[in-house]
Amino acid sequence: MRKMLACCDTYASDYNVIFNTSKSKCIFFPAKGHNKKVNSALAFEIGSQPVEFVSQWSHLGHIMSCDMDDRHDIMRCHDSLAKQINNVSCFFRKLDPMIKLRLLVSYCYSLYGSVLWDACSAYIEQLCRTWRVAIRRVWGLPYNTHNLLLPLICCRLPLHDELMKRLLVFVQKCLTCDSELVTFVSRYAVWYGRMLSPIGRNVLHCSLR
């Protein structure tokens, strides 16, 4: 890591570039059963400025945590979904329910990064609950309308099943990817890693569901 950062420093010196250290963070992902505290000897610098160690950070829109728990990223997506649903419901409240449903799917259904989550996480249910509330609001249904009726009314898969479908499509693409490294890691995870691998656990969860 220090050698790579030294390359950055050399590049910065040659091309008169300044790297902003405050925008760079280090996250330590400890192995299972190992000490989670960062060793004080672990120190990295860019342009003679130390890089801060953090327990979680947003990278490409995803929140990465040192404990490898997806709850922070799922709750980020949950809050974003709730905000988008409220916006659509507010601006288009007078439209026909079918049109409002299509708008909800168009504006609120991206769920970016969901294929990377742990499919067994209990926090996914909170996301699904928020979506079910939105469906009831669109159709003007009472709050106690049974969950099993909602997919039949709106002619869409339950959100949990939609997430699992996307996850399996993602794994399938990884297994058939042109990159030998990606296919090797994916096949090992699904066929050998099983519950020891996040991908293996997700595939097994989808199979059981």
- Cα 70 from Cα 129, distance rounded (Å): 18
Asked whether 46 and 19 are in contact (CB, 8 A), the reply is yes
**pLDDT digit string, tens, across residues 146-184:** 999 999 988 889 999 999 999 999 999 999 999 999 999
- 33, pLDDT greater than 80: no
Q: What percent of the chain has pLDDT over 70?
A: 96
CB 61 within 8 A of CB 113: yes
User: Within 13 A of 133's CA, how many CA atoms are on the CB side?
Assistant: 13
Name the DSSP letter for residue 12: H
Give the tens place of pLDDT for each residue, 77-136: 999 999 999 998 888 888 888 998 899 888 888 888 899 899 988 899 999 999 999 999
Q: Which long-range contacts (CB under 8 A, 24 or more apart) does 3-12 make?
A: 5/44, 5/45, 5/46, 8/46, 9/46, 9/47, 12/47
Determine the residue type at 17. V
Report H helices in 92-196: 97-108, 123-139, 149-154, 159-175, 180-188
